[in-house]
Amino acid sequence: MKILFFVVFLLLSNIGYAENLNDALDRIESEWAIVYYKTPQTQQAEAYTQLLNKAVTLAKQHPNAAEPLFWQALVKSSHAAHLDAFSALTAIKESRELLTRVITINPTAMNGSAHVTLGTLYYMVPKWPIAFGDNDEAKKLLETALAINPNGIDCNYFYGEFLLQSNNLKAASQYFERAIAAPIRKEQAFADNQLKAEAKLALQNTKDRKIGSERNIFLSLFNSAEAE
C-alpha cells in the first residue's frame, strides 16, 4: 500500500510540475507578445531585459525542459534590435546556441517553434564573416518546422517571408494564405491574431508584386561593418 501511495504521489507531483511550467510559459509568451506588438519602442529594451530574467529563472527551475530555453532565445533575439551592433551580434549568437539546445533536447517542443525561430535567424542575419547567415540552412530548418506542424501560423508565415526574400512570389503567397487560414491557438490568441494580420498584409503586398522596402532589422544593424 505504501508503494502505491508513493507512485500516486509521484504522478500528482509530475502533473503539478507540468501545470506550473505551462502556466509560467503562457505568462512569458503573453508578456513577450505585449512587449513586441504593443509596447512603445523606447520602452522595449528595459521590458525585454526584465522578461529575459524571468525566462532565465524559469530555465533554472526546470533544467530538463526545452521550452524555457526557447523563450530565452526568442527574448534575446527580440532584444537584439535595441542593442548596438556588437551586442546584437552576441545576442543572436547566444540565441542560436539556445535554440540548438532546444532542438537537441526536444525537436518537437512547442510544435517545432525552435526550428522556425532558428531558421528565421539564419536568413535574417548577415553571412560569414559578420555573422552566420545561411539561406540553405534556413530553408532546411523552416521546412523541418513545416513537417512537424504543417498547419501552424508561425511556420507558414515565416516560410512565406523566406520565400518572399528569395523573390519567389507565387510560393510565398501560398504560405501566407496557409498562415491566414491556420487555427488560432487559445493560449496564444493575441500573438496569433497579430501574426495573421501581418500575413494578410504580406499576402497583399506579394499579390501587388511589392516586396517590402524596409530593410531587415538585423541586416541594418550590421551594414556598416559589412561595408568595411
Cα angle 180-181-183, degrees, rounded to a multiple of 5: 105
| pLDDT, tens digit (0-9, with 9 covering 90-100), for 46-67 | 999 999 999 999 999 999 999 9
State the alpha helices, DSSP H only, in the chain: 2-37, 41-61, 67-79, 85-105, 113-124, 135-148, 153-165, 169-181, 189-207, 217-227
Q: How far is CA 87 from CA 57, 76, 202, in A?
A: 22, 11, 30
Q: What is the pLDDT of residue 20?
A: 86
| pLDDT, tens digit (0-9, with 9 covering 90-100), for 169-204 | 999 999 999 999 999 887 788 888 899 999 999 999
pLDDT for residue 106 is more than 70: yes
ω into 129 cis (within 30 of 0): yes
Cell of 92: 543572436
| pLDDT, tens digit (0-9, with 9 covering 90-100), for 149-171 | 999 999 999 999 999 988 899 99
Domain ranges of the chain: 2-227
CA pair distance 88, 220, nearest whole angstrom: 11
CA pair distance 164, 167, nearest whole angstrom: 5
Per CATH, which fold does 2-227 belong to?
1.25.40
Question: In which residue are the cell numbers 487560414 written?
Answer: 181
The pTM score is 0.81
Tell me the residue type at 86: F
CA pair distance 184, 191, nearest whole angstrom: 9
| pLDDT, tens digit (0-9, with 9 covering 90-100), for 115-131 | 999 999 999 998 888 88
Cell of 159: 516560410
CA pair distance 197, 195, nearest whole angstrom: 5
Q: Cβ distance 177 to 153 under 8 Å?
A: no
Q: Cβ distance 50 to 82 under 8 Å?
A: no
